[in-house]
Structure 1
Amino acid sequence: MNNPLGGIIPDQPPTDPQSNVHELKSRLEWGEPAFTILDIRDRNTYNEGHIMGAMSMPMEELVDRAQSSLATSRDVYIYGETDEQTSQAAQQLRSSGFEHVSELKGGLPAWKAVGGPTEGILESRTPAGADDYNVVSRMQNHAETQQK
């Protein structure tokens, strides 16, 4: 059951095989439940910086760790070093029974380009932009980008 709050929060549309960072950011900003973000890069790279809230599941451990910790019906957004690596990892998850896997196109660089929240050793040393906490400005930027 992906929506434990029944009719309070509308059901989400099916997860697309590929997503852009705007779609994920929108889900996070609206507080939508029941999805997981997986970072498949190596542990050191993950520790340097990653999407806030993403779980580290390096490529070589991905399927085993995902099967032991996630329901196969859960919405999963996945990203790696490159879109090619992300696509390979997504295919591994789909082949092992995961039903709702979406490849996050552009990965961490695309996420940072739209002002998505990050965390990690290097990220903590980078000050937030002036408009990072201005929700109105971010929503206007998001709407303009969606129109392009």
Structure 2
Amino acid sequence: MSPFPNLIPTPPPMKARSLVYDLKARLDWGEPALTIIDVRDRNLFNTSHIMGSISMPMNELIDRALPSLVLSRDLYVYGEIDEETAEAATKLRTAGFENVSELRGGLAAWKAVGFPVEAIPYTVIGN
């Protein structure tokens, strides 16, 4: 055992329900080995989403998550409202994902504290 047990910092542990500060602390840690999933409608995702999140709308969630994500990966999921987030987390856990955290408050909470967001630019064709 090391004589300096607190010398090497560790990232905060993952919880079943997380605040935006918990996720931001993981991201600030660097190379956090996690995936942020936005289960809202793709148009809402394109308008604004948590920087680095991926779009997996609720109706495609399990069909897209199973072939592309490792079951032991840390997943942070958010929807339009906390009830949608909880539903998505339940689906992921039922499908076998071991480390799923519901991001309380979702995008609104993330924006409210000034954390980074991004959008998908679109081009108007015509005229």
TM-score (norm 1): 0.72
Contact 2:12/2:26 (CA < 8 Å) preserved in 1? Answer: no
Kept after mapping to 2: 8 A contact 1:14/1:100 = no
Residues 1:20 and 2:19 are matched in the alignment: yes
Please name the residue that 1:80 is paired with. 79
Which residue of the partner structure matches residue 137 of structure 1? none
Query: Given that residues 49 and 120 in structure 1 are in contact (C-alpha distance below 8 angstroms), is that contact kept between their aligned partners in structure 2?
Result: yes
SS in 2 for 1:36: strand
Q: Which residue of 2 aligns with 1:36?
A: 35
Q: Which is helix-richer, 1 or 2?
A: 1
- CA gap 1:11/1:63 in 2 versus in 1, 3 angstroms: farther
Structure 1 moving runs of 4+ over 6 Å: none
1:67 partnered with 2:71:
no
CA RMSD of aligned residues (A): 1.7
Q: Which residue of 2 aligns with 1:117?
A: 116
> How far is the alpha carbon of 1:114 from its aligned partner?
1.4
Q: CA deviation at 1:78?
A: 0.3
2:3 equivalent in structure 1: none
Distance 1:35 1:10 in 2: 18
Query: For structure 1, which runs of at least 5 residues remain unmatched after alignment?
Result: 1-8, 123-148
Identity level (%)? 62
Where in structure 2 are there 5+ consecutive unaligned residues? 1-7, 122-127
1:40–1:62 Cα contact (<8 Å) kept: yes
